Structure 1
Amino acid sequence: MKFLLSIEHPSWVHQFKYMIRELEKKGHNVKVVAINKDRDLELLDIFNIDYEIISDTSGKTIIDKGIIFLKTLIRIFQISKKFKPDIYIGRASPMMAINSFLFRKEHIIFEDTEHSTFCLFIAKLFTDVIITPNCFKNDLGRKQLRFNAYKENFYLHPDYFTPNPMVLSELNLSPGDKFFILRFVAWDAHHDIGQSGLSMDAKRKAVEEFSKYGRVLISSESPLPYEFERYRITISPEKIHDLLFFATLYLGEGGTMATESAILGTPSIYVSTLAGTMGNFIELEQKYGLMLSYKDQDKAIKKGIELIKKSDIKNEWKNKQEILMKDKIDPTGFMIGFIENYPESFHELKNMLDKE
């Protein structure tokens, strides 16, 4: 079978890298199209995934994004006409959804971002199947299929991920060293417009306070002010999950990295005006106790200091993480079986759910 998949964010590379590899091992043809966003093209190169660029930028303003939407819609149409995919797969990409409708082909996606309203609106119109985590707060109607996994389980499931301690030596760290990862985002995604996280003063406070207890490392989508540059994480981007695994604490504006940290058993604090709006964060906090979400920056930093001071904090989180991992399925294996056997797989699962 021939599959067309779009990459529009670095996290999408991580999410689908193993699925692409396994599908190709089974003899399927997977064509990847990509929008240059942060370091997603670099990750595709690192993982030896062939791709075709459909836009050199994701845009900063609403007008930019509108122009890029039209441009990439046309590019995917041209590529589809030549490649002739059997199924469009990936995330809730409006350009992919519309093209699947135009070419009368199925579109099967995974989505976990409740506030991605435009993308979900288009998906409800043109996408055939929208797979979401069980904890997804929105009801998307008859096209929705829920399963017990998060996006981050696609690549952090133990069948695929084994932490490599060699990453520590690259940053002159030793096993057992206390270090803390701060994450700052650009707030330029379409679903981030109007949202915010840490102010500059709060960032300074976090760096200053956390530095009293260990080493601070910063991951940032945007250029860092000179005063923070010495804290920048300098490792290759595919090693970030190894670093998160060994970190003492994560605090940041990035929702994906907050979830990754929680799943890896690292205390995770999410700081954003979006706190409390997404089902996966609510479940990680209320059911598993692996994440703490705050809109109040000062409370978040204060909580971070409190956790840092606890000598057994990593063991406490690892015990919680083991419970989580026993609950969750392997979503990569699920998706492969689902799309290979579609539409029978959809009807079978729907019938099973209806009987429950």
Structure 2
Amino acid sequence: MNILFDIGHPAHVHYFKFVIRALQKEGHHIYITARERYPVFELLEAYGLKYFNRGKGANSKIGKILNIFIIDYKLFRFAKKNKINLMVGFGSFYISHVAKFLGIPSIILDDTDNATFGQFLYRPFATKILSPESFSKDFGKKHKKFRSFMELSYLHPDYFSASPEFRKDIKLESDEKYTLIRFVSWNAHHDIGHKGITVENKINAVHRFSKYGKVFITSEGELPNELKKYEIKIEPHKMHDVIAGASLLFGESATMASEAAMLGVPAIFIDDDGRSYTNELQKRYGIVWNFTESVRDQQLAVEMGCSILSGKENSFTNTSSRIFSENINVTEYILNEIKESLK
């Protein structure tokens, strides 16, 4: 069968890379369409996955709306030319439209509660919608939920084992402690209206955390001059090794906060909307702390970070093992759903 995966975000590469490899081994023909956004292409190339460049995204509201028609048309031509039998994506309303028009099934995965605009666009057209149990919305009969986190599609111990080799790349000693900070660009359609952490609090967080070890920053946007020396220089496919070795993950990325939790690393996530899965990781496992973007909450988040780094919080040694034992292997689940859709 000819199966198309649409990739719109670096995390989507990870969600589907082991699914794709398993399907290829079974003899299926895999096609990948990918958004031109760093480091999507870099990750696909690192994993030896060929792709079709479907173009860049848009930042303005009007641009995002126009882009729907442009990308729908590109994907329609690509899918028709390659005689696609099934389309799969994460929150990709584009493939739901194209698949419906072509009369083929589509599978949409989603764990982002506040992606209301995208959900409005894919819900009527998708054949099947898959989400973690923590997902707060219910889209009816076509919506199935599973007990797990999306990050276990690639950070499950069946697929990932952290390597310390990256330490040579960033000149870290084998036992040297560090904090990893993540800032996002706030350009996604579900980020409209968000501002994130203030420059003052970004600088404050770095200075405070530096008392407990080195600090590295990974940022989608340009950093203030005062923080540029902290920006990590590492190949994108090694980032999970970096997360696994950190003492703390702090920042504006829900995905990276969840990745850290899967790897037994405490995380602080700052976002006014929050996410159901990071709430679940706080309530059920006590390894993620959620804060709003208010200036007061940003300050409290930094204080909590210092508390974690000083050893005042509980140990997280066995947390990842508990997460693995209580949640399913998401790659296997997606594979089963794909096979069911191809019958």
Alignment partner, residue 318 of structure 1? 317
TM-score, normalising length: structure 2? 0.96
Alignment partner, residue 133 of structure 1? 132
CA offsets, 1:147-174, max 9 Å, x none? Answer: 1111111110111001001111211112
Compute the displacement of 1:43 (Å).
Answer: 0.9
Alpha-carbon distance in 1 for matches of 2:279, 2:232: 28
Alpha carbons of structure 1 residues 211 and 294: separation in structure 2 relative to 1, 3 Å: same
Equivalences for residues 75-94 of structure 1 within 5 A: 75-94=74-93
Per the alignment, in what secondary structure is the counterpart of residue 331 of structure 2?
Answer: helix
**Matched-pair contact (CA < 8 Å) for 1:196–1:272:** no
**Matched-pair contact (CA < 8 Å) for 1:3–1:85:** yes
TM-score, normalising length: structure 1? 0.92
Alpha-carbon distance in 1 for matches of 2:317, 2:169: 24
Alignment partner, residue 59 of structure 2? 60
Alignment partner, residue 5 of structure 2? 5
Alignment partner, residue 301 of structure 1? 302
Compute the displacement of 1:243 (Å).
Answer: 0.6
Please list every run of 5 or more consecutive structure 1 residues that lacks an aligned counterpart in the other structure: 345-356
Query: Aligned partner of 1:157: which letter?
Result: H
Alignment partner, residue 269 of structure 1? 268
Equivalences for residues 224-303 of structure 1 within 5 A: 224-275=223-274, 278-295=275-292, 296-303=297-304
| Pair 1:335-2:334 in alignment | yes
**Matched-pair contact (CA < 8 Å) for 2:250–2:305:** yes
**Matched-pair contact (CA < 8 Å) for 1:196–1:273:** no
Compute the displacement of 1:337 (Å).
Answer: 2.0
Alignment partner, residue 96 of structure 2? 97
Compute the displacement of 1:71 (Å).
Answer: 1.1
Compute the displacement of 1:264 (Å).
Answer: 0.6
| Pair 1:43-2:40 in alignment | no
**Matched-pair contact (CA < 8 Å) for 1:197–1:297:** no
Alpha-carbon distance in 1 for matches of 2:269, 2:312: 21
Query: Aligned partner of 2:298: which letter?
Result: Q
**Matched-pair contact (CA < 8 Å) for 2:93–2:118:** yes
Query: Which 4+ residue blocks in structure 1 deviate beyond 3 angstroms?
Result: none
**Matched-pair contact (CA < 8 Å) for 1:131–1:147:** yes
Alpha-carbon distance in 2 for matches of 1:132, 1:300: 28
Alignment partner, residue 31 of structure 1? 31
Query: Aligned partner of 1:260: which letter?
Result: E
Per the alignment, in what secondary structure is the counterpart of residue 219 of structure 1?
Answer: strand
RMSD: 1.3
Query: Percentage identity across aligned positions?
Result: 33
**Matched-pair contact (CA < 8 Å) for 2:4–2:84:** yes
Alpha-carbon distance in 1 for matches of 2:124, 2:321: 39
**Matched-pair contact (CA < 8 Å) for 2:86–2:342:** no
Query: Aligned partner of 2:306: which letter?
Result: I
Alpha-carbon distance in 1 for matches of 2:87, 2:150: 18
Compute the displacement of 1:311 (Å).
Answer: 7.4
Query: Aligned partner of 2:191: which letter?
Result: D
Deviates more, 1:168-177 or 1:102-111: 168-177
Query: Aligned partner of 2:264: which letter?
Result: G
Alignment partner, residue 69 of structure 2? 70
